[in-house]
Amino acid sequence: MPYIKKIELRGFKSFGPKTVKINLDKGFTVITGPNGSGKTNIMDAALFALGELSTRRMRAENAAKLIFHGSEKAGLQKGKKAKVIIQFDNSEGTMPVDTLTVTVSREVFRNGQSVYRLNGRRISRTHILEILSMAAIGSSSQNIIPQGTITRLTDITPMERRRIIEDLIGIAQYDSEKADAENKLRTADISIRTAMGRIDEVQKRVDDLETFNPPGFVSRLLGMGDLEALLEKATEAITQEEAEDLQKKFMSGKFNLIDLHEL
C-alpha cells in the first residue's frame, strides 16, 4: 500500500510564499501543535492535491480563498496561486506508474483554474484520479478522515456503514466502473438504432427508385458513359422532337428515370 513520504505546500491557505516541506516516514501517525498553527490545513492540502472539488470540504468559500491572503504584520503580499505536492512511496508498484516514487501536484489560480501534474508532467484531473484509484486513493474515499467523522460513524445507518466498508476494500471503485460501462453501452445502443434507422430510410428510397424503372435499369447505370449510351439507344425509337426534349433535360440536369420510362 503506498504511503505519503512528503508534502510540500506553497501559498496554500495559511502557508505563505515560502515552500513548506513536511517529511512523513512510514508509520507516521500524528501532527501536533497549538491551535491556529495550521494542522488542519495540512489535511485540507492533501484533499486539494488529490483532486477534491468541494471548497466547502476544504473549509473555504471558493478557490480564491485557498490561496494565501497575505499578512500585513509580516509584510507578505497575498499570493497569486497555491500549490501542493504530495510524494507517494510506490515501491510495491500498486500505482500503474514505472517509478518507485510518484509525485502528484495541483496548483490553483485566483480565477479558479487548476493544473494537475504527475511526476512533473501535466495531465488531466480524470487521468490522475484513475491512477490514484488503482491504489484505492482518493479525496472522497476513507484515506482522509476529517474531524468529527469518527463520532458520526456511531450514528450512521447500516447501509451507509456498508458503503464505507465497500469503499475501503475497493468494491465501490468497481461499481463506479460498472456504472460507467453501462452508460457507454446505452449510448452505443442508441447510436446503433439511429444508424439502422437511416439505413432503412436509404433502402426504402432505393426500393422506390427501382420500382419506377425497367428491370435491370438501375444496375446498368454504372457511370455517365452508360447513361449517355442508353439515352442514344432510346432516341432511335422516338421522334426527333422527343429526342431533343430528352437531350435538353439531360444537359440541364433535370432528366429523371420517369421521363424515359414513360416513352
Could you tell me if residue 254 is inside a domain? no
**Residue 86 included in any domain:** yes
Residue 247 lies in a domain: no
Question: Rg for the chain (alpha carbons), in Å?
Answer: 35
174: in domain: no
Residue 229 lies in a domain: no
Q: Which residues fall within 8 angstroms of residue 35, CB to CB, at 6 or more apart? A: none
> What is the structure's pLDDT at 75?
85
- In the chain, the number of structural domains is 1
Cα 156 to Cα 20, 149, 153, 164, 241, distances in angstroms = 37, 10, 6, 10, 93
Structural domain includes residue 172: no
Q: What is the CATH number of the domain that holds 105?
A: 3.40.50.300
Residues 6+ apart with CB under 8 A from 122: 115, 116
203 found inside a domain: no
CA distance 13 to 85: 14
Task: Report the pLDDT value the prediction gives residue 134, as an integer from 0 to 100.
Answer: 84
Residues 6+ apart with CB under 8 A from 36: none
Contact 19, 9 (CB under 8 A): yes
Q: Locate cell 437531350: which residue?
A: 247
**For the chain, how many residues are written?**
263
Question: What are the phi and psi torsion angles at 71 (to 5°)?
Answer: -150, 115
Cell of 205: 428510397
Amino acid 169: pLDDT: 65
Range of the domain at 79: 3-140
Classified as helix, coil or strand, 26 is coil
pLDDT value of residue 255: 47
H-helix or E-strand containing 212?
none
Cα angle 55, 60, 66; round to 5: 85
Is 173 part of a structural domain of the chain? Answer: no
Q: What is the mean pLDDT of each run of 10 residues along the chain (263 residues)?
A: 90 92 83 85 93 90 91 87 95 91 95 94 93 83 70 79 71 74 89 86 76 53 52 56 61 50 48
Contact 246, 237 (CB under 8 A): no
